[in-house]
Amino acid sequence: MIYVVALLVVCLGVLLFLHFRTKRKMSRELQYMTEKLKFITATDSAERLLLVTDDQRMRDLLNEINSLLDYHQESLADLARLRISTNRMLSNVSHDLKTPLTVISGYIETIQHDKQFSAQEREVLLAKVQVKVMEVAELINTFFDLAKLESEDWQLEIERIPLNEVCRKAILGYYDTLTSKGFAVHIDLPEESIHIEADPAALTRILENLLSNSIRYGKDGKTVGMTLRQDEENVYIDVWDKGKGIQEADKDRIFERLYTADDARTAAAQGSGLGLMIAKRLTEQMQGQIHFSSIPYVKTTFTLTFPKPKLEDYSKLKKVVRIP
């Protein structure tokens, strides 16, 4: 009996010793993790928690903490990119507003103080003022669209629309501008009627943004075109030009929020960097996709892809989609 009691005492002592050692080891590990996390968060370091342990629960905790640290680093990188984009946007907006407003101010001052102009010459100057006012209004409308997108206040009314007619109106809306600038215009719309489920106003805005982009950056090629085509499953709209195209370094970034190519900031090619981003967001909200291909001075094409509508009672089709 004495031997049994002694054995139990020894076993209990061993257990207490192991428990104490395990507790001390865990305490040291937790202290290391705490100090390391304080250092990482204080310095925005890219380091991770590295700890060798036999405790599976501790390893699981380390994995989760390191995952959170990875997410934190990605968030910091996204924030830095957003800050750079926002600064670029503010610079672009300042430039884009200042230029036409300076011209408008000059024209108005000339009209007010130079009494030698004839009525016809004044009409010409006023027409130029109107053009510049429209440029400012277009820029403001673009930022209004961005505000609606960011505030989730843009609702789409999805219905069955005749795509041929929407495309025709969009390209004809720019026809006078294109011809006055010496562009050759190519319109390829099929005779058969093609329909998709979309918001007509949003689709028109997408096409206008793509056409405006082609005019702005495709001016060297003096050619702009629009093609409507389909296959068994999808409908495709191509907006293309033969301008300088898109550089390889910009291909992965042109749909980013507020991104503009560095070499685009010239007097003849200005933009806030929002048109393509807005086009992409609206296209995706209507279950479509947007892609592009570019061979400089040969052909740069933006392609909208929409699924063909399923057979159903279209007279009942009308739904509202809120942009997230």
Q: For residue range 21-54, what is the model confidence (pLDDT) as tens digits? A: 556 666 776 777 777 777 777 777 777 777 667 7
Check residue 148 and give its pLDDT: 76
| Residue 277 and residue 186 share a domain | yes
Confidence class for position 76, pLDDT limits 50, 70, 90:
confident
Check residue 72 and give its pLDDT: 78
| Residue 173 and residue 315 share a domain | yes
Check residue 52 and give its pLDDT: 67
| Residue 199 and residue 112 share a domain | no
* Residues 32, 34: Cα–Cα separation, whole Å: 5
Average pLDDT, the chain: 78
Cα radius of gyration (the chain)? 31
CATH code, 202 = 3.30.565.10
Check residue 287 and give its pLDDT: 92
CA dihedral 294, 296, 298, 303 (to 10 degrees): 20
Query: pLDDT tens digit string along 80-118?
Result: 877 776 777 677 677 777 778 888 888 888 888 777 777
Is residue 266 in some structural domain? yes
| Residue 16 and residue 54 share a domain | yes
Q: Which residues pair with 115 in a beta bridge?
A: none
Mean pLDDT of 219-227: 92
| Residue 227 and residue 143 share a domain | no
Q: What are all long-range contacts of 150-156, with beta carbons under 8 Å and residues at least 24 apart? A: 152/322, 152/323, 152/324, 154/322, 154/323, 155/320, 155/321, 155/322, 155/323, 156/199, 156/202, 156/282, 156/285, 156/286, 156/320, 156/321, 156/322, 156/323
Q: Select from 149, 170, 190 the last residue of a domain.
A: 149
Check residue 268 and give its pLDDT: 36
Check residue 12 and give its pLDDT: 56
Q: How many domains does the chain have?
A: 3
* Residues 162, 166: Cα–Cα separation, whole Å: 7
Q: What are 79's two structure tokens?
A: 């924030």
Q: What is the strand order of the sheet 319-322 is part of?
A: 195-198, 155-162, 319-322
Mean pLDDT of 310-322: 52
Q: Select from 56, 76, 96 the last residue of a domain.
A: 76
Is residue 297 in some structural domain? yes
Query: pLDDT tens digit string along 264-276?
Result: 433 333 455 578 8
Check residue 164 and give its pLDDT: 93
| Residue 53 and residue 141 share a domain | no
- In three-state form (DSSP H/G/I as H, E/B as E, the rest C), the secondary structure along the chain is CHHHHHHHHHHHHHHHHHHHHHHHHHHHHHHHHHHHHHHHHHHCCCCCCCCCCCCHHHHHHHHHHHHHHHHHHHHHHHHHHHHHHHHHHHHHHHHHHHHHHHHHHHHHHHHHHCCCCCHHHHHHHHHHHHHHHHHHHHHHHHHHHHHHHHCCCCEEEEEEEEHHHHHHHHHHHCHHHHHHCCCEEEEECCCCCCEEEECHHHHHHHHHHHHHHHHHHCCCCCEEEEEEEECCCEEEEEEEECCCCCCHHHCCCCCCCCCCCHHHCECCECCCCCHHHHHHHHHHHCCCEEEEEEECCCEEEEEEEEECCCCCCHHHCCEEEECC
CA distances from 117 to 107, 112, 121 (A): 12, 10, 6
Q: Select from 76, 104, 130 the last residue of a domain.
A: 76
| Residue 59 and residue 29 share a domain | yes
Check residue 23 and give its pLDDT: 60
Tell whether the model's pLDDT for residue 1 goes beyond 70. Answer: no
Is residue 83 in some structural domain? no
Check residue 223 and give its pLDDT: 93
- Name the residue with higher pLDDT: 187 or 5: 187
Check residue 26 and give its pLDDT: 66
Maximum C-alpha span of the chain = 128
Confidence class for position 312, pLDDT limits 50, 70, 90:
low
Contacts of 275 (CB under 8 A, 6+ apart): 142, 209, 210, 212, 213
Mean pLDDT of 248-270: 54
Pick from 291, 285, 263, 258: nearest CA to 274 = 258
| Residue 56 and residue 103 share a domain | no
Range of the domain at 100: 88-149
Query: pLDDT tens digit string along 137-182?
Result: 877 887 777 777 766 677 888 999 999 999 999 999 988 888 888 9
| Residue 129 and residue 228 share a domain | no
| Residue 275 and residue 224 share a domain | yes
Mean pLDDT of 300-321: 71
| Residue 275 and residue 201 share a domain | yes
Q: Are 65 and 33 in contact (CB under 8 A)?
A: yes
Check residue 25 and give its pLDDT: 64
Is residue 175 in some structural domain? yes
**Least confident segment among 77-81, 258-262, 270-274:** 258-262
Check residue 302 and give its pLDDT: 95
Check residue 34 and give its pLDDT: 77
Check residue 266 and give its pLDDT: 35
Pick from 176, 166, 184: nearest CA to 241 = 184
Mean pLDDT of 210-227: 90
Tell whether the model's pLDDT for residue 255 goes beyond 80. Answer: no
Q: What are 239's two structure tokens?
A: 């907006």
